Amino acid sequence: MSIQYQEKSKHSKAGIALVSVFIALAVLALAYSVWRYMELGSVALAEILIEGIILFVLVSQAVGTYTVTLTESDLIIDEVGLLGKKRMVIPYAMMNGVYRFKQSMMPPLKFRYKYRKLSSTDDRPVWALAYSVVEGKKLKHGRVLLKAEQEFFDVLAQHVPNLIQVKEDQVVFHAYLREDAFKHGEDFERYAANVYGQGQAETAESKE
């Protein structure tokens, strides 16, 4: 495996301070609920459980560390958190693009898999990497939220040209294009080249 780029997640002072406040509030809320339950019996165990889960999520997102590695064929994300170590591998050939992440109630693309591979104490912008997975006779879409230096995206763009740090609708179009090619049993690279080539030809004709 030839490593072309590698970096580890960062923790900013401002991010640590902000997350620490939320964790402290969660600890106080949990401690108060436990006290009320033990002394007064006026709190349901379900409430304590929910507050415990919230505290666990806050801590895990703050202390987790991530290492992103770009090889000649794949993006590798290694995670070390409270639940141990995890590794995620995404081939460049299955990527649909990277766009600036914005929370949406109704995203234009249905993601079967959603992952957060970033630290809540990292104050860099959040990017969404969309990809596809073939499972038997079905093609499903996934999304990974991550934070990285600009050099990471520059190197990634060498393997996935014209799809890195672009608009969301461009990534969504590419994903649907892959899905359409899969449904018709077409080779995706050839199918995409024909569609994009036709689009460029129509654009050139409209300008004349």
Residues 150-204 pLDDT 10s: 999 999 999 999 999 999 999 999 999 999 999 989 999 899 888 887 655 444 4
Using 50, 70 and 90 to split pLDDT, how confident is the model at 46?
A: confident
CA-closest candidate to residue 146, choices 116, 123, 168: 116
% of the chain beyond a pLDDT of 90: 50
Using 50, 70 and 90 to split pLDDT, how confident is the model at 206?
A: very low
Average pLDDT over residues 98-104: 92
Q: What 3 state SS string does 102-141 have?
A: CCCCCCCCCCCEEEEECCCCCCCCCEEEEEEEEECCEEEE
Q: How far apart are CA 62 and CA 59, in angstroms?
A: 5
* pLDDT single digits (tens) 120-129: 888 899 999 9
Would the pLDDT of 137 be above 80?
yes
Question: Tokens 């970096």, residue?
Answer: 7
Query: Model's pTM, two decimal places?
Result: 0.77
How confident is the model at residue 14, as a pLDDT?
A: 66
% of the chain beyond a pLDDT of 70: 88
Q: Where are the beta strands (DSSP E) in 13-160?
A: 65-70, 74-81, 84-91, 95-100, 113-117, 127-135, 138-146
